[in-house]
Amino acid sequence: MNQPLYGVYGASGCGRGIMPLARAQISATGTSLDRLVFIDDKPRPEPLNGHCVYSYAEFLAIPASKRHVVIAIANSVVRESIAERLEQDVVTPWTVAATNVVVMDDVQIGEGAALSPFVTLTSNIRIGRHFHANLYSYVEHDCIIGDFVTFAPGVKCNGNVVIEDYAYIGAGAVIKQGRPGAPLVIGRGAVIGMGAVVTKSVPQNVTVVGNPARVLVK
């Protein structure tokens, strides 16, 4: 009988950071580690960090009872296009989380999340599909996070914040707490620069940088 097959889609730095978490997760189930592979547009004949690297077509050709994939690509638009392809091919989105992720009370997380070590999610939080939370990021109480949102390392998202779909929050950014009924909103597709301190809502599809964060004029 064929066993399930697991893939980390993306063999760059993001994928190599997620792979050890994926390895620990399936090891706990007793699944053989040769059933865990990288998927990449540039497959290679030799293993990477102990795992084979296949093209997506090669991954689909491997006999399996079921296929599970976590998408390790930081770009939200690319992540969404891959997610759509996986859905068409009946590949199950796979949530991968470090063993020391802290999830407190009434936290709902959509499919396909990647939660790195030392991430903390406190209480009354709603998170959409294919969320990336990198090292030492946190989400405080009463936050709503959309689909395909990316947190780089060290993001501090304080309470009563709404982050809309496709937003990218740069390393070390701090998002000020909103108010009940009047959340601080990070607009759809917005980019928060590395180390930015966000003190007010950010419009859709703009980049903000600095302390306090201001729209970047190119």
Q: What distance in Å separates the CA atoms of residue 26 and residue 184, rounded to the nearest whole number?
A: 38
- The DSSP-derived string for 51-112 is EEEE-HHHHHHS--S-EEEEE----HHHHHHHHHHHHHTTPEE--EE-TT-EEEEEEEE-TT
Q: What distance in Å separates the CA atoms of residue 113 and residue 149, rounded to the nearest whole number?
A: 10
* CA–CA distances in Å: residue 96 to residues 61, 183, 198: 23, 29, 29
Active-site entry in 51, 68, 130, 141: 141
* CA–CA distances in Å: residue 196 to residues 167, 182, 192, 214: 14, 21, 7, 9
Residue among 8, 6, 19 nearest 116 (CA): 19
Phi-psi region of 30 (alpha: psi -120 to 50; beta: other; left: phi over 0): left
In the residue annotation, 141 being an active-site residue is answered as: yes
Q: What distance in Å separates the CA atoms of residue 207 and residue 32, rounded to the nearest whole number?
A: 44
Q: What distance in Å separates the CA atoms of residue 60 and residue 56, rounded to the nearest whole number?
A: 6
Q: Which are the catalytic amino acids?
A: 141
